[in-house]
Amino acid sequence: MSPDRHRIEEVIERALAEDLGQGDVTTAALISVHQRGVGFIVIKEEGILAGTGLAKQVFQRVDPQLEVELLLEDGARVKPGSKAARVTGSFASILKGERVALNFLQRLSGIASETSRYVESVRGLPVRIMDTRKTTPGLRSLEKYAVRVGGGRNHRMNLGEGILIKDNHLAALRKQGLSIKEIVARARQNAPPSLPESPSLSLLESLPSSLRGAKRRSNLQARQIQVEVEVGTVQEALEAVEAGADIVMLDNMDIENMREAVKSIQGRALVEASGGITLDNVRAVAETGVDFISIGALTHSVRALDISLEFENG
């Protein structure tokens, strides 16, 4: 479940270099390197915690002598006053690592918390909440990890994970006179033989068993290369299915058209809804019968969870 260790180390190095610059001149001017203290990471609002291990690594990268005890694990539901970790050691070292550790912890906890809200909103329905590639540059693996902590699933990690024919691909190729059927066939023919299994296909195993689900599973597993096509109308959705698309993404459709598209597809492909999804309408979207709902807002504009570091008196 954790993101790649080497990527984490690189991200931490960059973040500390960015924040420390030429050093912490205020702390150096005021605090003796021999003064010791105990700080607690304190939660200020309700949410889902994510990034505790990352925060610990930040402090220990600043000073390996710092003792960091995690009091809560990622995925914990927290409330105001909850203490996530205790940091003991050089007062100056704790201050140097404080902001970077909190930045990671607040950002990832915000993502996990928002994801959890969406997951709770569709509870009881056979649908999965997914993220997108609309992530902070350089932090994708961490932010997608936070989505998983919040109960969501990951869409493609990068452009190499699965074929997704988007509207701009279609526009460019239609200018050459190609139909959707020809575009899908070209994608399947030219795809590298080592292409990873589509993330959406792998999620089939997590969907409740049903006749419709079994039919889709059989259709997709019969092919080595899975192709997803983004569409904007019911007619395009039907064209994509007839062209052999394994997954159809309904982009920025209203509820009525989504419902019609799902009904028309009749289980011949997996269906993903994307674009314009909010907490206010996500359950209505799920009730149309789509299999997945991908939401860029989980990562691109989420509000950080309010978390601070407070020193123990005395």
Distance between CA 141 and CA 7 in Å, rounded? 8
Q: Are residues 290 and 258 in contact, defined by beta-carbon separation less than 8 angstroms?
A: yes
Region 119-300: CATH code: 3.20.20.70
**Is residue 18 pLDDT above 50, yes or no?**
yes
59-79 confidence digits (pLDDT tens): 999 999 999 999 999 999 999
> Could you tell me what percent of the chain has a pLDDT over 70?
89
Strand ranges for 93-182 from DSSP E: 128-130, 163-165
165-189 confidence digits (pLDDT tens): 999 999 999 999 999 999 999 999 9
222-244 confidence digits (pLDDT tens): 556 789 999 999 999 999 999 99
> Could you tell me what percent of the chain has a pLDDT over 90?
82
> What was the pLDDT predicted at 216?
54
Show me where the domains of the chain are located.
5-111+303-311, 119-300
> If you average pLDDT over every residue of the chain, what do you get?
91
Region 32-50: mean pLDDT is: 96
Region 28-43: mean pLDDT is: 96
Active site residues: 99, 134, 166, 230, 251
- HEC secondary structure over 196-242: CCCHHHHHHHHCCCCHHHHHHHHHHHCCCCCEEEEECCHHHHHHHHH
> What was the pLDDT predicted at 211?
38
Q: Tokens in use for 286?
A: 């799920």
> What was the pLDDT predicted at 198?
57
Where do we find the tokens 């699933």? 153
> What was the pLDDT predicted at 212?
47
Q: Which CATH class is domain 5-111+303-311?
A: alpha beta
Distances from the Cα of 71 to the Cαs of 76, 83, 301, in angstroms? Answer: 10, 7, 29
